[in-house]
């Protein structure tokens, strides 16, 4: 079924059918009804390709998951609670605004081609990049295509008018976490980092350092261990931290995400430490599963819901308002969630 046939059946021209489909005002109520009846009867829906070719925008947003630092044997999305959650929210929130999400994954340099194709081919009207692991040069090539794009936690030297730079408060969160430990009287505070190729890991580390500095606590390199956000890496990191500091253990640890924090707690409890009596732990992300931990993990919550909401709402606005440029760099707030793994050292 196509508009030509509908036109014939309704006894009008294709133009009139188009006008009805697009709800244009210059159609008499009578004609509209007549045409609509036929449309309904035959369940006609216009062909997306045809419309697109004729210059109409579609309601599809590309969600590009970019991460080059992945282990080969892992699923990109499924094995990342952050990305899973991101996609889930994105679909839900886009749906509220009658948009669709088209998801695509990029883990190697060759795959940027795929994104360019998708964007150039006009299958999507706008794009969101998430994952924090993009190659800057490839990213800039794509940006220079001029399409409307949201970048999440993906900092660039230059600003672009067609790009919304959205950042979550990773630095602030790292600072907040460390400060909370300091407020509780801790001075020997360790940090287990995330994957340092990623901006968010770097920023959390920077926040940790700054909080120590502002409180006149000397940074000790032996109190920093390096993870990559996975549970296994958390285990390895705490193991190393323990081996290096057996005789001078920190009284508190800020772990760069909750996943690693789980393993840290497990390891320490196995070694006979009580949490939080002997060692306080604070995580990051406020991941779902922290609900299931007896007691509950003290952590920094960054609202992925808010992050997604900002991305999609801003992008859709931008797409539909037909504005020339994004006026904004936005930050999404984090906050401290006090639960039961931090204890005052003077208690």
Q: Which does 75 bind (CB under 5 to 8 A by kind): a copy of itself, DNA, none?
A: a copy of itself
| Tokens 């287990």 -> residue | 192
Nearer to a copy of itself, 85 or 239 (CB): 85
Q: Which does 27 bind (CB under 5 to 8 A by kind): DNA, a copy of itself, none?
A: DNA
Q: Which does 105 bind (CB under 5 to 8 A by kind): a copy of itself, DNA, none?
A: a copy of itself
CA atoms within 13 A on the CB side of 56: 14
| Residue 117 beta carbon to a copy of itself: minimum distance, rounded to whole angstroms | 4
Question: Rg of the chain over CA atoms, in angstroms?
Answer: 26
| Burial grade of 30 (CB within 10 A; 0-12, 13-18, 19 or more) | exposed
Nearer to a copy of itself, 91 or 244 (CB): 91
Nearer to a copy of itself, 292 or 324 (CB): 292
**151 in Cβ contact with 164 (< 8 Å):** yes
Nearer to DNA, 44 or 242 (CB): 44
| Residue 323 beta carbon to DNA: minimum distance, rounded to whole angstroms | 18
**164 in Cβ contact with 149 (< 8 Å):** yes
| Residue 25 beta carbon to DNA: minimum distance, rounded to whole angstroms | 7
| Residue 128 beta carbon to a copy of itself: minimum distance, rounded to whole angstroms | 14
| Residue 95 beta carbon to a copy of itself: minimum distance, rounded to whole angstroms | 4
Query: What is the rounded distance in angstroms from the CA atom of residue 290 to the CA atom of residue 257?
Result: 11
User: Where do the DSSP E strands lie in 169-279?
Assistant: 189-193, 224-226, 252-255
**76 in Cβ contact with 83 (< 8 Å):** yes
**253 in Cβ contact with 280 (< 8 Å):** yes
Nearer to a copy of itself, 101 or 253 (CB): 101
| Tokens 């230059």 -> residue | 158
Nearer to DNA, 39 or 127 (CB): 39
Query: What is the rounded distance in angstroms from the CA atom of residue 304 to the CA atom of residue 196?
Result: 21
Structure tokens belonging to residue 93: 């929130």
**256 in Cβ contact with 284 (< 8 Å):** yes
Helix (H, G, I), strand (E, B) or coil at 174: helix
Task: Compute the C-alpha angle 108/109/111, nearest 5°.
Answer: 70
| Residue 267 beta carbon to a copy of itself: minimum distance, rounded to whole angstroms | 15
Summarize as ranges the residues that interact with DNA (CB under 7 A). Answer: 2-4, 11-19, 21-22, 25-28, 30-32, 44, 46-47, 49-51, 53-56
Nearer to DNA, 123 or 337 (CB): 123
Summarize as ranges the residues that interact with a copy of itself (CB under 8 A). Answer: 43-53, 58, 60, 65, 75-78, 83-85, 87-89, 91-92, 95, 98, 100-105, 114, 116-118, 120-123, 141, 145, 262, 288-289, 292-294, 305
Q: Which does 123 bind (CB under 5 to 8 A by kind): DNA, a copy of itself, none?
A: a copy of itself
């Amino acid at each position: 079924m196509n508009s030509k046939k509908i036109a014939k059946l309704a006894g009008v021209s294709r133009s009139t059918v188009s006008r009805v489909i697009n709800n244009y005002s210059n159609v008499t109520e009578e004609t509209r009804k007549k045409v609509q009846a036929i449309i309904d009867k035959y369940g006609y829906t216009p062909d997306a390709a045809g419309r697109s070719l004729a210059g109409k925008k579609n309601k599809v947003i590309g969600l590009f998951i970019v991460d080059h630092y992945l282990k080969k044997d892992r699923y990109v999305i499924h094995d990342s609670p952050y990305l899973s959650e991101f996609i889930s929210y994105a679909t839900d929130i886009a749906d509220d605004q009658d948009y669709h999400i088209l998801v695509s994954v990029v883990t190697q340099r060759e795959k940027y081609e795929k994104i360019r194709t998708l964007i150039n081919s006009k299958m999507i009207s706008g794009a969101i990049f998430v994952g924090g692991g993009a190659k800057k040069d490839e990213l800039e090539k794509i940006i220079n295509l001029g399409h409307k794009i949201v970048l999440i936690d993906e900092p660039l030297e230059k600003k672009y008018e067609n790009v919304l730079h959205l950042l979550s408060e990773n630095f602030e969160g790292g600072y907040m976490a460390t400060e909370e430990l300091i407020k509780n009287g801790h001075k020997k505070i360790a940090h287990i980092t995330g994957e340092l190729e990623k901006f968010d890991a770097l920023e959390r580390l920077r926040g940790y350092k700054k909080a120590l500095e502002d409180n006149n606590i000397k940074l000790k390199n032996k109190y920093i261990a390096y993870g990559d956000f996975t549970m296994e890496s958390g285990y390895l990191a705490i193991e190393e931290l323990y081996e290096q500091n057996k005789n001078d253990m920190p009284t508190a640890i800020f772990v760069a995400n909750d996943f690693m924090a789980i393993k840290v707690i497990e390891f320490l409890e196995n070694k006979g430490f009580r949490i939080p009596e002997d060692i306080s732990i604070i995580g990051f992300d406020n991941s779902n599963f922290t609900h299931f931990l007896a007691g509950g993990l003290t952590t920094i919550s960054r609202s992925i819901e808010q992050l997604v909401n900002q991305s999609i709402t801003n992008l859709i606005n931008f797409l539909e308002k037909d504005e020339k440029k994004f006026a904004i760099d936005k930050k999404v707030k984090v906050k401290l969630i006090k639960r039961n793994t931090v204890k005052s050292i003077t208690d």
